Amino acid sequence: MFDLLIRYIRQGRITLNRDRFTQLATYHDPCNYGRRAEKIFGQGFFEEPRWIMDQCLTHWVELYPDRRHQFCCGGGGGALTNGYNEERIFYGRRKMDQIKATGAEMLVVPCHSCHGQLNNIKATYGLPKLTVKYLWELVADCLVLSEA
């Protein structure tokens, strides 16, 4: 998924407008693309999404801690579907603290579970206006179409 987006951008098959978004953005590393992938497959996808973020945005900030040391959003492992909602919302408190600390208004994620969880809990933690965006949605939003 990261590789495909990077290939489209590097080969010039898609062109992106880096001025499309002006609000401050940040990026969340999903456990399964990062820490877990590194453990299981020997490679975590940390730099690839960041390179893609750089092609879409002139400025964005990191969460702290990040990459393999990030906190889980609380939506993984089937948590969105097992009915333990109070515990799932509690789980996300550290992630929301991290996001708040950046002052970001837009959070980019490359994972369906993270996207669902963070959208679901953001109002509980006082960030109802936080935009949660898929990484590929960010790319789609920044597309510049050639007149062909």
Partner 1 sequence: MTILQNPVSFESLDPGRSRAWPCDQDLCLTCANCSGACPVAGIDDFDPRKIVRMVSMGMADHVASERWPWICTMCGKCEQVCPMGIAIPDMMRRIRSLRARDQIPGILQSGLENALRTGNNLALPKEDFVFILEDVGAEIAEEQGFETFTVPIDKEGANILTTIHNKLVNTHTEDLKHWWKIFHAAGEDWTVAADNWEGTSWGYFTGDDEAMKTMAGRIVENMRRLKARTLLWPE
**CA distance to 11, 38, 63, 86, 104, per residue, from 28 (Å):** 26, 16, 7, 22, 12
Q: Take residue 123 and report the two structure tokens written for it.
A: 């109002």
CB of residue 39 vs partner 1: minimum separation in angstroms?
6
Q: How many CA atoms lie within 13 A of 81 on its CB side?
A: 6
DSSP 36-62: HHHHHHS---SHHHHHHHHHH-S--EE
**C-alpha–C-alpha distance, residues 41 and 12, integer Å:** 30
In the list 48, 71, 96, 108, the residue contacting partner 1 (rule: CB under 8 A) is 71
Q: Applying CB under 8 A, does 68 fall inside the site for partner 1?
A: yes
Site pattern 96..125 for partner 1 (x: CB under 8 A): --------------x-x---x---------
DSSP three-state, residue 148: coil
Contact between 8 and partner 1 per CB under 8 A: yes
When binding is defined by CB under 8 A, the residue of 63, 79, 109, 127 that contacts partner 1 is 79
Q: Is 104 or 114 the residue whose CB approaches partner 1 more closely?
A: 114
Q: Are strands 61-62 and 25-27 parallel, antiparallel or unpaired?
A: parallel
**Contact window for partner 1 (CB under 8 A) among 51-59, 80-88, 99-107, 122-130:** 80-88
The contact set with partner 1 (CB under 8 A) reads 1, 4-5, 8, 13-14, 31, 35-36, 39, 68, 71-72, 74-79, 81-84, 87-88, 90-91, 93-94, 110, 112, 116, 134, 136-137, 139-141, 143, 145
